Amino acid sequence: MNLYVHVPFCARRCSYCDFSIAVRRSVPSTHFAQSVLQEWRGVQSDPGWDGSPQLDTVYFGGGTPSHLEPSALSSILDGFLADRELAPRAEVTLEANPDDVTPAAAERWRAAGFARISLGVQSFAGEVLSWMHRTHTAGQARDAVGILRAAGFADLSLDLIYGLPAELGRDWEADLEQAFALQPDHLSCYGLTVEAHTPLGHWTARGQTTAVDEGQYAQEFLRLSEALQARGWEHYEVSNAARPGHRARHNSGYWNGAPYLGLGPSAHSGTGGERRWNIREYAAWEVAIGEGRDTVTGRERLTESQRRLEALYLGLRTSTGIPAELVAAEVWERWVSAGWALTEGGQIRLTAEGWLRLDALVADAS
């Protein structure tokens, strides 16, 4: 079983963020930990859970999980492990902001049981970080990597964002070079999207900024792919790449169809053909916990057609691809001819050019 915990707390909302977050000066760490464990205990008797005796991965995402007191993180993990054991070589990940990384915090995260850190760097350009409403500096990002390595973290991922508005003058090449210079084990690189109910969405609607040109977006993605290949990295999913042996097993579980359980506001779960999702807003989720009510606000049972579409979309996102039999021969042959896909061993996998057309190709194959 893959377990996800959504920690909603942030010091500030980033300009592009559409996630479920709660901006708090003072984070109720202990109370939140108690609430998550109460939700966890309620799930134990849920017939929708497969009852796996082991946890293969545990991932604390957000929001900003590193805003929680290390003692709260430790108590949550201890609560999980009182009911389920970690599988051999289990992956336990904490998302962290660079400005939360101190020698003391890093040591306590390691002692709590975290072995992998996903660090939200996004850019090394000061003006870009300011535009994003990030709360850290480029120097803090570089320092954080050194602190985490000194604390013994041998599995470190960095997040970056590409496809920013041209008026920012962001140097994507320079950001990539600085990221590689820090010698991370994994990179998660996401293209910027404009969501309506975000500061960026409002800026765009008012004409204060302009969404990135499609040509620039494609150029930056292809440059990323080239840089990864030149360094011997595995670009194993549209937005994720790793040095050999360092793929993120938690996220890979989503793409491979493994069952997953989500705890916390807005968290999603999936077992077999069922998908369910929690109350989105932290305050409402907290009230439901306090009143002993179910935190799940929606469920759906996927039809065979929906399951096929999901398998196509998730499979084509990865470097493994999908069995050729899932797509009509005349369709994938057209993809190969255009340079959007390759076939090998009965599998179809998309090239970097193909990944830029992922949505259209999935629709083409449906």
For residue 271, the model assigns a pLDDT of 85
The answer on 317 and 181 residing in a single domain is no
Q: Tell me the CATH number at 103.
A: 3.20.20.70
Range of the domain at 359: 305-365
The answer on 47 and 165 residing in a single domain is yes
CA 106 to CA 108: how far, in whole Å?
5
Examine residue 201 and say whether the peptide bond preceding it is cis (omega within 30 degrees of 0): no
CA 165 to CA 192: how far, in whole Å?
9
Q: What is the pLDDT along the chain (366 residues), one digit of tens a residue?
A: 899 999 999 999 999 998 899 998 899 999 999 999 999 999 887 665 656 779 999 999 999 999 999 999 999 999 999 999 999 999 999 999 999 999 999 999 999 999 999 999 999 999 999 999 999 999 999 999 999 999 999 999 999 999 999 999 999 999 999 999 999 999 999 999 999 989 999 999 999 998 888 999 999 999 999 999 999 999 999 999 999 999 999 999 999 889 999 999 999 999 878 999 999 999 999 999 999 999 999 999 999 999 999 999 999 999 999 999 999 999 999 999 999 999 999 999 999 999 999 999 999 998
Q: Is residue 169 part of a domain?
A: yes
For residue 273, the model assigns a pLDDT of 85
Q: Is residue 261 part of a domain?
A: no
The answer on 99 and 177 residing in a single domain is yes
**pLDDT tens digit string along 270-320?**
987 899 999 999 999 999 999 999 999 999 999 999 999 999 999 999 999
Q: Is residue 262 part of a domain?
A: no
How crowded is the C-beta side of 329, counted as CA atoms within 13 Å? 1
| Number of domains forming the structure of the chain | 2
The answer on 315 and 245 residing in a single domain is no
β-pair partners for 58:
3, 92
**pLDDT tens digit string along 45-95?**
766 565 677 999 999 999 999 999 999 999 999 999 999 999 999 999 999
The answer on 91 and 160 residing in a single domain is yes
Boundary-marking domain end, from 230, 255, 280: 255
* Cβ pair 277, 264 in contact under 8 A: no
